[in-house]
A and B are shown apart, each in its own frame.
Chain A
Amino acid sequence: MSTQQFPTETWTPANFLERVIAATPGESRLEMCIQCGTCGGSCPSGDDMDNTPRQIFAMIRAGMEEEVLASNTPWYCVSCYYCAIRCPQEVHIPDIMYTLKNMAIAQDRYVDSVAPDWSQTFVDYVENYGRSFEFGLATRHFLRHRPTGLRDTAQMGLGLLTKGRMDLMPQRIEWLSQLQAILNRAKELEAEGA
């Protein structure tokens, strides 16, 4: 592990690279990338990405903020951590992908809305019930984005239902107001820090 650490308390990020590093928890080690391409070669969804992770890191350094945040790359990351353990520079690649997704949502950059909407729908259920809710999640998502795929999904949903593996009503946690108070405060803090 490196000893280099940005003094995050006092330091104000100036360019895109620095902002990505500052917004990633712990040490991102993004500045250590040597452009070897091990990440893209290890990535199970690399073929389907607009840019491989290696390219994305070069683009971040080049300050190509718009292009990076419009790329499907972070949204096609499946968080499998193959790149992370194989990276010779120990760059925390999945964490950087999360940071890029946060930024793309905040700036509304990503063109194809399916992935961000899926995440947002999931978050809505967590915020309103404290737990995820497959039935509502799938129904909302498919009605909005893949109405033609609804027939096949409905079949699978029916399977889950009859096998006792899905509820028709969401479960609500007991102290939902406590969870919401925590999340609201976290959102305020994040907004202050941004």
Chain B
Amino acid sequence: MEGYDIESLIKDILDARMDDALERLNQASFRDGYAAMIHDFLDPTLQRIGSMWSIGTISLAQGYVAGKIAELVLNKAIESGEASALAEEQGVAVLGNIEDDFHALGRKMVASFLRLDGWKVEDLGNDVLPRAFVDAALRLNARVIGASAMMLSTALNVRALRAELDSRGLSGSIQLAVGGAVFRMRPGLVDEVGGDGSAPSAMEAPALFRALKERAKP
């Protein structure tokens, strides 16, 4: 298999040339199939972009382009009938912005990257109450809930979700991933609100969710 030009793909994304980036990925998938393209080309590219995002060297627009590309590639893989070959099925993840939080972009990016990684995502949207998170997780047999918050005052509302899990005896069997800008800037906040883990960027969320799934008690 010919090597992939990851540097050029990164440049396309950082220059917001979405069409060029997609064309590059299309050519690779035509040649090698979606599974190889995603595993050996798109994933390593997104990991690099994720590292840039977590140290704040790329703009919101550049992060958005990366998320959009993941979403579009996944849709094309589904259309091609190759989606089942992309990644091992990971089960269900329940996502939402915590109560009073309306910053949807990060959550939507996480949803795209998780789907690309084989997760079935139940996206509950913005301003989600603790009970709604837990009810959805139980209904869908999800092992991981992902709660997003952008600012400290809304991140603190995650404590009520942890309390809901505790009061229903579900802590441990349902793991709680937390994320959003404030968690990156205040690493101690994950423990403070009762999170089981966090990832420094949306691109790195799939690894976190896999680790949490493994940790979840049956």
To the question of whether A and B form a pair in one complex, the answer is no
- The residues of A with any CB-CB pair to B shorter than 8 Å are none
